[in-house]
Amino acid sequence: MRHAKGKPPRVGDRPAIRRTLIAVVLVTGAFFVLAPLVVIAVQAFSLGVGYFGATIAHPDTRHAIFLTAATALIAVPINTIFGIAAAWAVTKYEFWGRRFLIVIIEIPFSISPVVAGVAYLFVYGLQGLFGPMLQSAEVRVLFALPGIVLASMFVTAPFVARELIPLMQAQGRDLEEAATSLGASGWRTFFSVTLPNIKWALLYGVVLCNARVMGEFGAVSVVSGNIRGQTNTLPLHIELLYHDYNAVGAFAAASILALLAVVTIVAKVLLERQGAGRRSRPALAAPIVEAKP
């Protein structure tokens, strides 16, 4: 960082610019990211710990927490498997429609979640494509857990695949070919060669996916029907509390969501600090040894 006196600074290392840039980023970050989170925490406890506890313990809030967790437990694993499969297909195979598949995977990123929700209404709603069929089979998709899960999955479909595709593209097929030529089966190759080399990107994708599933509002709001204590996920419940002029309750519930987010991030950091993280990238941990013939 510091440069010797009298020598010109390295490119991009002028002290004034460096200090200004760091200050701007710090202030902006604090103002836009940190401050609102602090406000949530402060507001949540503004009527005392007792009121906070009561809000959290309220059956409707508890149910919303349960529903959000259940949705994540179903949607995240499915999307993880989908993401691995999609990344594998796109990077390891040549097939007709490969580029098209990449575009398809990206769609949920660029589309408003509300559109996804409305689309699900048209597909599974009573007047929708499969509506009558589902009704006669007495399967409830909309205004129930399946609809919430489907909407969440739509929104988060790209997360894992997007993390894996560039990495697996860079890695190519050599490692898998090497493992297979040494006699490893497809499963063995996947679990002992492919997976260890993508695990950090995969984990990162899963963490992002999970955070988004838990926080998803737009798409879920359309398909869930907002039934208090039945189909309200945590984000929807927060909005409901807010509309009930229960700002403190809303902040209390929001603090739970914020806490979940913090926990996911901390989990990721902790996992990366594990010895395993070093093992997967030994170059970062140990000096390169020069050739000794």
The residue (of 177 and 244) whose beta carbon lies closer to another protein is 177
Q: Contact with another protein (CB under 8 A): which of 76, 105, 179, 241?
A: 179
Shortest distance, CB of residue 39 to another protein, whole angstroms?
43
> Per CB under 8 A, does 293 bind another protein?
yes
Shortest distance, CB of residue 175 to another protein, whole angstroms?
6
How are the residues of the chain apportioned to helix, strand and coil, as percentages rounded to the nearest 5? Answer: 75, 0, 25
> Per CB under 8 A, does 69 bind another protein?
no
Which of 78, 101, 113, 120 has its CA nearest to residue 162? Answer: 101
> Per CB under 8 A, does 174 bind another protein?
yes
Q: Per CB under 8 A, which region of 68-76, 85-93, 211-219, 280-288 contacts another protein? A: 280-288
Enter the tokens of residue 260.
């979940």
Q: Residue for token digits 């949530």?
A: 40
> Per CB under 8 A, does 4 bind another protein?
no
The H or E element containing residue 266 is helix 247-273
Q: Per CB under 8 A, which region of 21-29, 63-71, 243-251, 276-284 contacts another protein? A: 276-284
Shortest distance, CB of residue 83 to another protein, whole angstroms?
20
State whether residue 229 is helix, strand or coil.
coil
Distance CA 82, CA 109 (A): 16
Measured CA to CA in angstroms, residue 162 lies from 112, 152, 261 at distances of: 18, 17, 20
Enter the tokens of residue 284.
């970062």
The residue (of 49 and 291) whose beta carbon lies closer to another protein is 291
Among residue numbers 36 through 55, which ones bind another protein (CB under 8 A)?
Answer: none
> Per CB under 8 A, does 170 bind another protein?
no
Q: Contact with another protein (CB under 8 A): which of 37, 102, 146, 197?
A: 197
Which of 105, 87, 98 has its CA nearest to residue 168? Answer: 87
Shortest distance, CB of residue 196 to another protein, whole angstroms?
4
> Per CB under 8 A, does 190 bind another protein?
no
CB 92 within 8 A of CB 168: yes
Shortest distance, CB of residue 250 to another protein, whole angstroms?
46
The residue (of 33 and 288) whose beta carbon lies closer to another protein is 288
Distance CA 130, CA 102 (A): 27
Angle (CA) 231-233-234 rounded to 5° is 150
The residue (of 43 and 180) whose beta carbon lies closer to another protein is 180
Measured CA to CA in angstroms, residue 110 lies from 90, 105, 178, 261 at distances of: 20, 10, 38, 23
Q: Contact with another protein (CB under 8 A): which of 43, 180, 226, 246?
A: 180
Contact residues for another protein, defined by CB under 8 A = 174-175, 177-185, 188, 192-193, 196-197, 279-283, 286-293
